[in-house]
Amino acid sequence: MRHLQNRKHKMKCLVCGREFVGTQSAKYCPDCRTERYHARTGTKVEKVCAVCGKKFLGCYGAKYCPDCRQLRREQSMLETRERLKNKTACVIGKTKWRCGYCGKEFVITSPNNKYCPKCRKDARNALRRKSYREHVTQCPEKMARKRKATHYRNRFCAVCGTPITKNTSTSICDDPKCRKRLDYFWTARRSYNYGRRKRPPTMEAARKRFGIVYHQPVMDYETTASHHDLF
């Protein structure tokens, strides 16, 4: 029956009423699906188009409004056709481009190459940091809530429940016995994944095995990173 569900059909969008080709379980067209996702997650913010200057709602990496984006797409397709017609398109393995990060020439291995192999990782990390800083300045309230929810404080040991005083990403306390008990738990979990155990291990069973009294902490979920809830 799965091959019938994955078969493409002509469907009608429940939001805009436009017909589209999709699976039998599809309810919305691609555009409405994207809009519903961004509306549910709150990832879109108010942006200014780099071409016409009009304000629009877009993700933190968006530069153009929907109208200018479509025009740039069409212009890019025309330029690609002209390069193919004039035989000036890049040839993978032969064409040399200049790196946009260090300025050295290199032979491309993909038409999307902008940087040489040595600078590729550093350039991408720099672009990610730049876009992230712009996103932080555009929606400070959302980023403040995110930092507050993931701040390393009010955390408790996943094994015994005692408070963790270190300002690190660890999920257990300073007691070396808790480290051994946590290693035992993950060893049992791997044995279950490989089929050596019949039942999946739980942290409660490990606590009973070692005679640990778990102190249930009082959590403040607005300011706590609840690592202990993973088990």
Same domain, 144 and 156: no
Distance between CA 147 and CA 144 in Å, rounded? 5
Same domain, 158 and 225: yes
Q: What is the pLDDT of residue 226?
A: 39
Do 140 and 97 belong to one domain?
Answer: yes
Spatial separation of the C-alpha atoms in residues 62 and 179, rounded to whole Å:
45
Q: Are residues 158 and 215 in the same domain?
A: yes
Q: Kindly give the confidence (pLDDT) of every residue in the chain, 231 residues in length, as a single tens digit, with 9 standing for 90 and above.
A: 444 445 677 888 888 888 888 877 788 888 888 777 766 665 677 788 989 999 888 776 788 988 999 999 999 899 988 988 888 878 888 888 899 889 899 998 888 888 999 999 999 899 888 877 877 777 777 667 666 655 545 677 888 888 877 766 677 888 888 888 888 888 888 888 888 888 888 888 878 887 777 766 554 444 444 333 333
Residues 55, 37: one domain?
A: no
Instruction: Report yes or no: 206 and 185 within 8 Å, Cβ to Cβ.
Output: yes
- 131 plus 157 within the same structural domain: no
Say yes or no: 172 and 228 in one domain: yes
Pair 29, 51 in one domain: no
Domain count, the chain: 4
Q: What are the beta bridge partners of residue 57?
A: 46
**Residue 21 is part of which domain span?**
1-41
CA pseudo-torsion sign 37, 41, 42, 48: negative
Same-domain pairing of 162 and 228: yes
pLDDT value of residue 42: 57
What integer pLDDT is reported at residue 71 of this predicted model?
92
Query: Does 107 share its domain with 140?
Result: yes
> Does 96 lie in the same domain as 78?
no
- pLDDT attached to residue 4: 41
Give the angle subtended at the CA of 68 by the CAs of 64 and 74, to the nearest 5°: 120
The answer to whether residues 81 and 142 belong to one domain is no
